[in-house]
């Protein structure tokens, strides 16, 4: 059995210029994930669930585990000294690591420390999403905003950790998507899913249909298409929506399907964050053979203008994403 650490070292040849730095950075993420996983498994017997009563910059009430996970990942990344700064969904602004080692580090990390955190108290799977870029500011200086406002096609690595019936870490460095399952008795991630790929066609659609009346007409037409009976295309499709992006994405990646979070009348720019959620998931999905779009553009080509920018998100099996994009174009205002 191959451990995550062994696999990363084996694949270092893909990044000879990194000289082990990227491996150390992924090692920091692995460590923080194990710490967060341990605390999540205490939910219900420790005072770690529920809301803090404090809103983040997006106006969402932070959960206790949001802040815990954010702190642990931030501390782990700073301690390894391989990143010059981080940006997080839970931080108002980016955080620059201004020590001498931090200023001389090549990378920045953007993250959603605990996606779907409101589901913890009902024992539903949650996750961590991360994205790694090379800085564009000069070495030897503090991180700048420009280091974080890079289009997704500049990512050098991205991934997620899903804390569920088993805990898995899934990542890509642009050479396929690989999944590792945690053995809780040893505290070791073992390679369990090498070169993960998504089928070109799927039979699952994931969307919060409670917002149906607020959806664009193209999305409404696509949902009706999904529900129609047609044996040749294996319709009607199956509706599966957990409300945790990592969980929905992971299921669709393995089985084939599409995840949809469109613009709505009340959220015309969509809800999901481009930098912390959509870019890393789009990188993974493309590496697995799928597509990710905002309904018109490839997600990875969007040039961000702010840290907490939101976009509509259509992500999954190639033919399903193409179908919904075609309907959106037909009913474009």
- Give pLDDT tens digits for 157-171: 999 999 988 999 999
Contact 22/123 with Cβ under 8 angstroms? no
Say if residue 128's pLDDT is above 60: yes
Burial class (CB in 10 A: 0-12, 13-18, 19+), 225: middle
Question: What is the residue-averaged pLDDT of the chain?
Answer: 91
pTM of the full structure: 0.94
Confidence check: pLDDT of 35 > 60:
yes
Across the range 14-37, mean pLDDT stands at: 83
Give the residue from 185, 175, 128, 196 showing the smallest Cα distance to 8.
175
Kindly list the distances between the CA atom of residue 316 and the CA atoms of 52, 168, 204, 257, 311, in Å, as whole numbers in the listed order: 34, 19, 10, 6, 16
Give mean pLDDT, residues 72-93: 95
- Residue 49's pLDDT is 56
The structural domains of the chain, ordered by start, are: 4-193 (3.30.540.10), 204-330 (3.40.190.80)
Work out whether strand 177-183 and strand 167-172 pair parallel, antiparallel, or are unpaired: antiparallel
**Rounded CA separation 182/171 (Å):** 14
Token output for 316: 């999954």
pLDDT band at 57 (very low <50, low <70, confident <90, very high): low
| Higher pLDDT among residues 55 and 194, named by residue | 194
């Amino acid at each position: 059995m191959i451990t995550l650490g062994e696999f990363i070292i084996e694949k270092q040849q893909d990044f000879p210029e990194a000289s082990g730095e990227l491996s150390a950075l992924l090692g920091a993420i692995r460590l923080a994930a194990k710490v967060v996983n341990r605390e999540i498994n205490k939910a219900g017997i420790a005072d770690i669930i529920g809301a803090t009563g404090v809103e983040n910059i997006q106006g969402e009430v932070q959960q206790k585990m949001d802040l815990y996970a954010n702190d642990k990942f931030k501390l782990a990344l700073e301690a390894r000294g391989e990143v010059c700064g981080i940006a997080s969904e839970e931080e108002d602004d980016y955080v620059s690591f201004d020590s001498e080692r931090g200023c001389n580090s090549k990378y920045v990390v953007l993250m959603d420390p605990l996606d779907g955190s409101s589901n913890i108290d009902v024992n539903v799977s949650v996750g961590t999403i991360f994205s790694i870029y090379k800085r564009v500011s000069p070495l030897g200086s503090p991180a700048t905003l420009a280091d974080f406002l890079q289009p997704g096609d500049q990512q050098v690595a991205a991934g997620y950790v899903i804390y569920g019936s088993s805990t898995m870490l899934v990542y890509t460095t642009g050479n396929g998507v690989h999944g590792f399952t945690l053995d809780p008795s040893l505290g070791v991630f073992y390679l369990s899913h090498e070169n993960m790929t998504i089928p070109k066609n799927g039979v699952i659609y994931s969307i919060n249909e409670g917002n149906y009346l607020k959806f664009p007409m193209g999305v409404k037409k696509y949902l009706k298409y999904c529900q129609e009976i047609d044996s040749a295309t294996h319709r009607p499709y199956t509706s599966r929506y957990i409300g945790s992006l990592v969980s929905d994405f992971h299921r669709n990646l393995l089985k084939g399907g599409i995840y949809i979070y469109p613009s709505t009348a009340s959220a015309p720019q969509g809800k999901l964050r481009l930098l912390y959620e959509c870019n890393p998931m789009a990188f993974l999905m493309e590496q697995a053979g799928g597509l990710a779009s905002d309904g018109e553009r490839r997600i990875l080509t969007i040039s961000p203008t702010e840290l907490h920018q939101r976009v509509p998100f259509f992500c999954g099996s190639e033919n399903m994403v193409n179908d919904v994009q075609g309907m959106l174009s037909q009913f474009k205002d």
